A and B are shown apart, each in its own frame.
Chain A
Amino acid sequence: MVTSKPQEKLFGVRVETIRSLLRVIIFISIAGAAISSRLFSVIRYESIIHEFDPWFNFRATKYLVTHSFYDFLNWFDDRTWYPLGRVTGGTLYPGLMVTSGVIWHILREKLALPVDIRNICVMLAPAFSGLTAIATYFLTKEMKDSNAGLLAAIFMGIAPGYISRSVAGSYDNEAISITLLMATFYFWIKAMKLGSIYFATLTALFYFYMVSAWGGYVFITNIIPLHVFVLLIMGRYSHRLYTAYSTWYALGTLASMQIPFVGFLPIRSNDHMAALGVFGLLQLFSFGFYVKSKVTGKQFRNFLVFSSIFVSFLGVSALFALTALGWIAPWTGRFYSLWDTNYAKIHIPIIASVSEHQPTAWPAFFFDTNMLIWLFPAGVYLCFQELRDEHVFIIIYSVLGSYFAGVMVRLMLTLTPIICVSAAIALSKMFDVYMNLVDVLKSNGEDNSEETGSGKKSKAKRPSTNDKLFSIVSKLAVLLSFAFYLVYFVLHCTWVTSNAYSSPSVVLASRGPDGSSSIIDDYREAYYWLRMNTPEDAKVMAWWDYGYQIGGMADRTTLVDNNTWNNTHIATVGKAMCSSEEVAYDILKKHDVDYVLVIFGGLLGYSGDDLNKFLWMVRISEGIWPEEVHERDFFSDKGLYKVDGEASKTMKDSLMYKMSYYRFTDLFGGRDGIDRVRNQAIPLSQSPKLNVLDEAFTTQNWLVRIYKVKDLDNVGRDLHSATKFDESANDMKRKRIIKKPALDLRE
């Protein structure tokens, strides 16, 4: 249906022109829909960076725009992981920061629009989602036609599975990576179809961009070789395939090695070996075809058997030998947890403690993709029906994507694009069939010689009037029900985006008893207090979740942050939190800690607080100090996680417990305090005493509590007895002051 007669005209304008104009308008509308549905949080709250990781990216971007590019690559950050520091420039994917930095410079210097870098960072994800929709259009167009492409583009624009990672303010690597993923795949399909070096080079270029932006580039590194491998097994070797793959692999690998964080990984890590293997295999195939064209069939068979046994033996043994020698890095923990969901729980608690690394619950698929999830298999089925080379790609992607999305919640993101593409193929195929009312109407009249060949119905026996009516009604029924589904899909996407994915999580919304909405801004209150009222080189200890935010908003040195590169250091912080004051004080002093920050939701009823994460701290530090920290000690006698009167002694003595409930019961006027998160009563008699810390600041709703670490006593007492002495002295002093006569002042 794309091909139309060149001379066709409507109101004197060529139909092709109208068509391309319409297409541009549709693209703009799709991009507009994609962008505007991501702006809920900006409208409701403000232009603010969300969550945790984006705060680091934002801070790195600010560093990039205030320093030179080479400074950025050589950035050693001494304000995190105190006292170790972090080689930040060499351990990040710079693609995201460089992208927004370049946009910032162009706007400022070329277009005279000095936009604040924060606003660029906030709006980057929505802007790129518009581009993703367009890239998806081109990819789907290669699979079927432009109708399917447009459907895929609109699906991609508003599917919550992708929106979850790309709302305004969600300034994370994924924000631009999905765009690059779709663009790379589109160029790969194009290159593979045409055997074009030009498109293969573009594939490599976008692959390089992807490598620079997200660790998930490994997905491309493996899926393209797998595609080629499957095609080879299916006996679909061609020179086009050879050209495309060899060009992409050679250029892409060399380019990816230019990223400092990636470096020599493409030739040393097991994650990248498949690509290398398929590259070798392709060379062998090519050689084999050359030999085949020169020798007879029987000779070739012998040649094939011997050489394949020899080569596979050689390859496998080389892989083992190199791994054993340490030349090739074994797989990483995160990789293992992809295959065995229990691996992390047993071996690496720090990975398991992150909620987005948990396996996906099945309702999440419906929640994130709604009707697309049941159209998805239909689309894959249609690909099997036709099974051109590019359809094989869709099938492979679907299988891998589904598996990974099932293993880890966050990988839902990589599945969403293929769901959109497949669903669009299925839906557009259906529309092709059911929307074709032309022949029904035409055959209604006289027999017409201009029947188009596309309608299948026209080939059937000429239907009677009754049949025609029936077919029209059935077609209409199907179309209307799908129209309903589509409308409902849009409603669902808007609802999910607005309710589930548009909260900045730095700011919490709440409703007062009268229904008025108010904002709970305790995080920023605490961070800004730190920024304004503590020395610039103060070291703040907090659980690693808040590291990036403290660095970004409070601008203070932290001990651990969301980068989690050093498990021991995190365990040290965990140990300080879960030990008694004496043990903790030692750790605090050794690490020059000035302030300790805890999140406490007990007053507000905020369940994501530190006491609820406390067991992870215990587990992680137990992993390093199994003799000193025991998880069992933190449970009550009955084996329950309790903070009330039944709490175990270790629990009550732990620094975390004391910091959370310090003077908490004072709020309740002589009665027991009620913890609203855990619904337990904190006995008045059990109100903790702090000897080594002083309360420095507590926010309005007690969400963040900051403590100052006391200095060593200047007469050499231990802080416990010093505090006691002060308390008894205080009572005496008060009485004395009242009696004091007028003071003489001395300068």
Chain B
Amino acid sequence: MKVSLILGVVFSFLSAVLAKELELEAGNWKNKNYLRTIDLSRAYVQETCLIEAENLDSKPQDVYYFTVNDGFDVIGNISLFEVSVSNNLKVDVENVLEGVYKLKLPAPVAANSVVEIKVKYTYTNTIAPFPAKIEMGDTQKLLLKLNKFVFSPYATSHYTLVFNGISKGQEMELVLSNPEEYGVTKNAPDMRPRVENKTFVYGPSMAEITPYTVQPMGLLYFHNKPLTKAFRLDRAIWIPASDTEMLNIEEYYELTNAAAELKSGFSRVDWMKGRYETTKNHWALSHLQFPLTKGNLFQDYYFTDKVGMVSSHKILSKTLFLQPRFPVFGGWKYNFTLGWNNPVKNYVHKVVSTPDTYIVRFPVLNSIEDISYDSVSLDFYLPEGAELLKVASPVPYENVEVGNELSYLDVSKGHVKVSLKFKNLIDSLNGKEVLLMYKYTKASFWFKALKISGFVFVGLMSYYILNFINIDITSK
């Protein structure tokens, strides 16, 4: 039995549109148990939902719709979305609409049996400092706005909400200016918080929660760390044409700190007296830490910005520390460039079966710890005359652009530039690797070398020949 859910009263605006357009065929499920864990230790929000779903239908079903626990447009940009089922089989995820995912389970679930689904997703641009402007010595408090209940197309019978990674928190009543528009649920069950094992726990609530329950809530918590954010990151990887050992990587960051802003101007006296730089317990961003890994040692790195070299940097205990020219407070910006070398053999491999074909395996990010990225462009510069065969990424990208870029001694069309555009990434995507396959023949290598030497030869010859022309006007 398929039930068309058109629940106009409790729908959020978004879902209403969705339901009308799709005639959402949600199937007949019930959330027997819904454990929602929110990790707030980082600059973004990580939410893990453990769902025990029961098939109420008479037939086996294999499609479960998951909606992000929002309901009143408060969740910013969703960056990572991972689903796993108890037996670790592959789940097909289709992002039907913003915040709505269609999960195709690996096997149909029989009637009245239970499936355990684990959904993990991360969102950025949702937490904000409150108050937004504080003094330098104050401790920063962040406000997370969230839906206190489950925003699911199905009814939920058993619900727990857990907050992780906070030292001190406080629930705030959140009054919306237009509760009608979002359809705030009036008779939601009452849930009171308690502290348990360094976590902040609500529930479990035994009362049945109706589908699409919306109950806005604010959580104010102490977080004395910067909220590092990159508006933009351009990663350039220059893949050499010949058998050199090193590969050059250059990153350009446009960085900001989403933490609290300074109430008054920056006072160096207070900054020096507070020793915030050495204790590193402050919401101003004074250090950037890049962890060194086995494959990536930041050899010959350089750290510059638009006015030249920055001298404050060092490698200490397997971490590359960069110190921006000034501590970055909330709302301040800092743009810089970091470049380094890495052995080619770590990344580029020759395909044995097909001639002249190479595979590049390169991480999406070599990230700073605890950061979110709004937009990332991963640019591979293949040798001049190379041909892109295939590109694959474990992280979904917006689009791929293939173009040309003229670089040193490029005498024909230039390096082949393959750029992958990503949106809303976070540092935990560090290990994910993009695969890229290209074809580069020995012929195009020699063609380029010969073309350059040809030009030099023509230049010298023409100078030699010009010397023979007699422009003397005196008669001998």
Q: Measuring CB to CB, which residues of chain A are less than 8 angstroms from any residue of chain B?
A: 45-46, 48, 112-114, 198, 518-519, 521, 524-525, 527-529, 531-533, 553, 663, 666-667, 694-700, 702, 707-708, 742-747
Contact = CB atoms under 8 A, between A and B. Distances in A.
B142 interface: no
B475 interface: no
Interface string B45-84: 0000000000000000000000000000000000000000
A745 B268 contact: no
Contacts of B130: 745
Given A112-B406, A524-B308, A746-B175, A529 B326 contact: yes
Contact of B268 (A521, A702, A742): A702
Given A529-B325, A532-B332, A533-B333, A553 B307 contact: yes
Contact of B325 (A525, A694, A707, A747): A525
7 contacts: A45-B309, A112-B408, A521-B325, A696-B265, A698-B268, A699-B268, A700-B268
B326 A745 contact: no
A528 B326 contact: yes
A695 B271 CA distance: 13
Given A521-B311, A742-B170, A747-B176, A114 B406 contact: yes
A82 B4 CA distance: 67
Given A114-B406, A697-B268, A746-B177, 11 more contacts: A46-B308, A528-B307, A528-B326, A531-B307, A532-B332, A532-B333, A533-B331, A695-B265, A696-B266, A702-B268, A744-B172
Interface string B172-198: 111111000000000000000000000
A267 to B, nearest CB: 33
Nearest to B309: A46
A524 B408 contact: no
B25 interface: no
Contacts of B175: 744-747
A266 B305 CA distance: 45
A599 to B, nearest CB: 15
B252 interface: no
B410 A112 contact: yes
Contacts of B266: 695-698
B306 interface: yes
Contacts of B218: 745
Contacts of A527: 307
Contacts, number: 92
Contacts of A531: 306-307
A744 B173 contact: yes
B321 to A, nearest CB: 16
B400 interface: no
B317 interface: no
| Interface secondary structure of A, over-half rule | mixed
A708 B265 contact: yes
A610 B17 CA distance: 65
Contacts of A699: 268, 326
B444 interface: no
Contact of B411 (A112, A198, A529, A698): A112
What 10 pairs across the A-B complex have the smallest Cβ distances? A698-B268, A696-B265, A46-B309, A525-B325, A695-B265, A519-B311, A532-B333, A666-B269, A553-B307, A694-B265
Contacts of B273: 666
A742 B172 contact: yes
B335 interface: yes
B339 to A, nearest CB: 14
B325 A528 contact: yes
Nearest to B218: A745
B466 interface: no
B409 A743 contact: no
A114 B333 CA distance: 29
Contacts of A666: 269, 273
B272 interface: yes
Contacts of B309: 45-46, 48
B348 to A, nearest CB: 24
Interface residues of B, number: 40
Interface centre among B218, B264, B265, B272 (most CB of A within 10 A): B265
Interface in B248-298: 264-269, 272-273
Contacts of A529: 325-326
B453 interface: no
Contacts of A533: 331-333
Given A113-B409, A744-B173, A525 B326 contact: yes
A198 B410 CA distance: 40
A525 B309 CA distance: 11
A745 B311 contact: no
B407 interface: yes
Contacts of B410: 112
Nearest to B334: A532
A667 B173 CA distance: 43
Given A112-B406, A745-B174, A745-B175, A524 B307 contact: yes
Interface string B158-172: 000000000000101
B368 interface: no
B272 A667 contact: yes
Contacts of B311: 518-519, 521
Contacts of B127: none
A112 B335 contact: no
Interface string B320-361: 000001100001111100000000000000000000000000
Contacts of A112: 406, 408-411
B105 interface: no
Nearest to A694: B265
Interface in B400-427: 406-411
B201 interface: no
B38 interface: no
Contacts of B411: 112
Contacts of B307: 524, 527-528, 531, 553
A531 B175 CA distance: 39
B143 interface: yes
A351 B461 CA distance: 54
Contacts of A518: 311
Given A114-B408, A745-B143, A524 B268 contact: no
Nearest to A525: B325
A666 B268 CA distance: 10
Interface in B227-264: 264
A594 to B, nearest CB: 12
A700 B266 CA distance: 12
A113 B408 contact: yes
Interface in B195-226: 218, 220
A702 B272 CA distance: 11
Given A114-B407, A532-B334, A746-B175, A667 B308 contact: no
A736 to B, nearest CB: 14
A708 B266 CA distance: 11
A48 B308 contact: yes
Contacts of A744: 172-173, 175
A698 B306 contact: no
A113 to B, nearest CB: 6
A532 B308 CA distance: 14
A379 to B, nearest CB: 33
A205 to B, nearest CB: 16
Contacts of A521: 310-311, 325
A427 to B, nearest CB: 34
Contacts of A702: 268
A45 B408 CA distance: 25
B85 to A, nearest CB: 38
A747 to B, nearest CB: 5
A533 B256 CA distance: 10
A696 B174 CA distance: 34
Nearest to B332: A533
Contacts of A48: 308-309
Contacts of B220: 743
A707 B264 CA distance: 11
